[in-house]
Chain A
């Protein structure tokens, strides 16, 4: 082997490093997306544009008392969890025990948002599994649901005392989600004077 070729092997031109650079950049990007930004995030999660915006206006009948109309006013005065659920939704059953515990142990006001459901089925479901809600909105044909950007059940919004949406959880709440995701937001806005 002649001297020139030998030199080239020992000191590769910088250009030869370009593919390595591209590879490292792509690998770094994937690592960031998959392991750092993406951890704990559901692939079905869509960030809500409603965060830090006032909760939408609505006028919905109460699930338990069809004659009563509930409006945005019911959200005001204290931090509440607005929980979108339906009797046909299996994941809602999964989170139900946790919601019961939250209402009982933490004294958080839970507002039920009964979504695309049937009144009779919904009431039977509550009778069977328990009722953690202070009041329940009844939205069988998804009129208010669209305004809230709901696209599945369960979904849970943290709404502060001024009626501003502060957080949205898509998917069921379990003990870990409560501790790491919901509780810190509630605590931040709980001490606010309305």
Chain B
């Protein structure tokens, strides 16, 4: 087999690996059934806004970690008992800290998280608009008579040979 063919074969293998090798979901929502579809939606929303403590960039809804499954079961059990969203969040925060919330509450220590992006966009926007305005009020002025005279004098000094570059 030619080298090119091998390369293509490798690429195809690699791509099929990327496209087809999706990990099987560790759980199904059927496992957490509710009679009331409203409660079911509440459950789905809740696990999507809680952070998995093991794999910190995943929500409880998407995580396949075993601890995440334990927490889903615990949340499910509490919802079956009739507990509401806030009660369950309080329970989890008391044990794992506010870390478990994707939406941190607004308080002094989280002020920067909440207002930081706004502050950055605001400052950037202000500077941008100010720069644009200044450009408008100070249009490029042309050369004065005096400058024009000086320019032609300089060009003449440079001689014929260089003139081609200045044209």
Contacts and interface: CB of A to CB of B under 8 A. Distances in A.
A125 to B, nearest CB: 18
Interface stretch (B2-10, B92-100, B154-162): B92-100
Contacts of B56: 44
A49 B67 contact: no
A13 interface: no
Interface residues of A, number: 17
B99 A141 contact: no
B95 A149 contact: yes
A146 B54 contact: no
Contacts of A67: none
Given A146-B74, A152-B67, A49 B95 contact: yes
Interface on chain A toward B: helix, strand, loop, or mixed SS? loop
Interface residues of B, number: 15
Interface string A92-113: 0000000000000000000000
Given A151-B53, A152-B54, A146 B95 contact: yes
Given A44-B56, A46-B53, A146-B74, A151 B67 contact: yes
Interface of A: 44, 46-50, 56, 116, 141-142, 145-149, 151-152
20 contacts: A44-B56, A46-B53, A46-B96, A46-B97, A47-B99, A49-B95, A49-B96, A50-B95, A56-B95, A116-B66, A142-B67, A142-B70, A146-B71, A146-B95, A148-B95, A149-B95, A149-B97, A151-B54, A151-B96, A152-B67
Given A151-B96, A152-B54, 12 more contacts: A44-B56, A47-B99, A49-B97, A49-B98, A116-B66, A141-B70, A142-B70, A146-B74, A146-B95, A148-B95, A149-B96, A151-B67
